[in-house]
Amino acid sequence: MSTIGQTHGRMTNGNADNELAYAAYVQELLGYGANLRALFEAADTNPECPLLSANAAALHLAFEGREGWDDAAPYLARMKQHRAGVTEREDLFCRAVLAWAAQDFRAALDLFSQIARDWPDDLVSIKWGQYHAFNLGDQAAMLHLGELAVQACRNTPYVHGLYAFALEQNHEIRAAEKEARHAVEIAIDDVWAQHAGAHVMETERRLSEGATWLGHCSHIWASKGTFIREHNWWHTALFHLALGEQDKVFDIFDTWLWGEWPEFPQEQIGAASLLWRLELNGLDAGSRWQPLVEQAQARSGDHIFPFHDLHYLFAISHADDPLCAEKHVANMHQKAQSCSGEAAIAWQKAGLPAAAGILAFARGEAGEAVHHLEQALPHLEKIGGSHAQRAIFHQTCEVARRRAAGQLAALGE
C-alpha cells in the first residue's frame, strides 16, 4: 500500500521539523483527523515558512464563519511578508488562499486546479480544490480533480474516497460505489469514502443497507474531526428517518449532532437540516430548536454561502420574534445586490427566492412558498451542498404543495 507523501516539493524557509509537521497535516486533512490544529503550532513556530502560514489560513477559512476570516488574517500577513523566493507551486497556492480570503471562490478553485494539473500528486491542493468546486456546485471540476488524484496517486490512502464522492455527485453511481468500497479496502478509516457509499445507497433508496453500512463504520468516527463525525451521523439519521425509526433519529441528534461545538457553522447546519426534516415529517422537535436559533441569529451577518444562510433562516424562523427572520432575509438581499457573475446567480436566482419561500412556509403561506421555491429549484446547484443536502428544498416545496392543495380544498367546502 502506498503512503501519503508530503506532496509539495521544496518548502521555502522550511526545515526537517516543518517537513514532518506538514506531512502529518496532509494525513490529517485527507483523513479528516482530529489533530489538524497541530498545524497552527507548526506555523507559529516558523512564521517565515509561507506554505505553513498559507495552510494555517486555509484551515481557518474552512471554518466557514466570520471568525475564520479574523483568525486567518495574521497567517495571511505572515504569508505575504515571506513570499519572496517561493517556488512556483507555493506561489500558486498562496494566491489561491488569498483569493479564498477575498471570497473569490472561483478564482481560488481555478488556482488550486492549476496546481493539480501541473503537480497532480499535490493532494492538499486537490482536496481544497474539490472543497471549492463543491461549494460552487461545479461537479465537473470535482470529478476532474478526483481523476487527477487517482491517476497520480493510485492506491494511496484516502485518494479513492475523494474520487468516489466526486463520481457520486456526477451521478456515476456504480463507479462511485466501486471506488468507495475500494477506498475502505485501502484504508478502513477512509470516512469520506464511507460517506460517498452512504450517498450512493441513499440515492438508490437502499435504506436498510445504508443504515447498516454506516452503523458498521461508526466506531471509526470517534477518532475523527468534528465535521465528518457529525456529518456521517447526519446521514445515518436520514436513513433511520426514512425507515420510520424516529426514536433513533432523536437519539442521534441528542447524542451526536448537537452540543459538541455549537459555534461551528457546520454543526449548526447539520442540526438545522435534521430538525427541518423532522418537522416536514410531522414530528415535534420540542425545545431542540432554541439553542440552535440563538446560534443562527449570531450568524445572521456572515453571508458567506447562500446554502448556509438558508439553513440559518429556517432556524431563525423558530425565534419568538418573527421580525428576526425578516431581517435575515433583508440582509440576504443586501448581500445579493453586492454580488456579480457566478455569485450573483447563486444569491439572486437561487438564494433569494428560496429564502422568500422558506419565510412564506414558516408563516403558513403554502401557496406563496411554492411560488418562490419553484423559482429557486432550477438554480439550486449553484448554492453548493450535495444532492442529499439540497433535497430539503425539494421536500419543503412538496410539503408546501400538499398544504396549499389542502387549503384550497378547505376553501371550496
- Listed in sequence order, the DSSP H helices in 222-264 are 226-242, 246-252
C-alpha dihedral, 259 to 260 to 261 to 262, nearest 10°: 0
Whether the pLDDT of residue 410 is over 90: the answer is no
Q: Which domains does the chain have, with CATH numbers?
A: 1-156 (1.25.40), 299-413 (no CATH)
Residue where the block lists cell 456572515? 302
- Cα 392 to Cα 298: distance, rounded to the nearest angstrom: 23
- Cα 287 to Cα 50: distance, rounded to the nearest angstrom: 47
Q: What is the pLDDT of residues 32-52, one digit of tens each?
A: 999 999 999 999 999 999 999
- CA quadruple 23, 24, 30, 31: dihedral positive or negative? positive
Rg of the chain over Cα atoms, rounded to whole angstroms, equals: 21
- Cα 310 to Cα 336: distance, rounded to the nearest angstrom: 13
C-beta atoms surrounding 352 within 10 Å? 23
Looking at residue 412, its pLDDT comes to: 72
- Band (2; pLDDT cuts 50, 70, 90): very low
Q: What is the pLDDT of residues 113-151, one digit of tens each?
A: 999 999 999 999 999 999 999 999 999 999 999 999 999
Using an 8 Å Cβ cutoff, are 383 and 308 in contact?
no
Whether the pLDDT of residue 112 is over 80: the answer is yes
Task: Return the C-alpha cell found at 324.
Answer: 428576526
Residue where the block lists cell 442529499? 388
Report DSSP state, residue 33.
B
Q: What is the pLDDT of residues 212-257, one digit of tens each?
A: 999 999 999 999 999 999 999 999 999 999 999 999 999 999 999 9
User: Looking at residues 2-26, what average pLDDT do you find?
Assistant: 79
Whether the pLDDT of residue 3 is over 90: the answer is no
CA distances from 191 to 99, 142, 186, 237, 239 (A): 29, 18, 12, 16, 17
Using an 8 Å Cβ cutoff, are 146 and 130 in contact?
yes
33 - beta bridge partners? 224
Mean pLDDT of the chain: 96
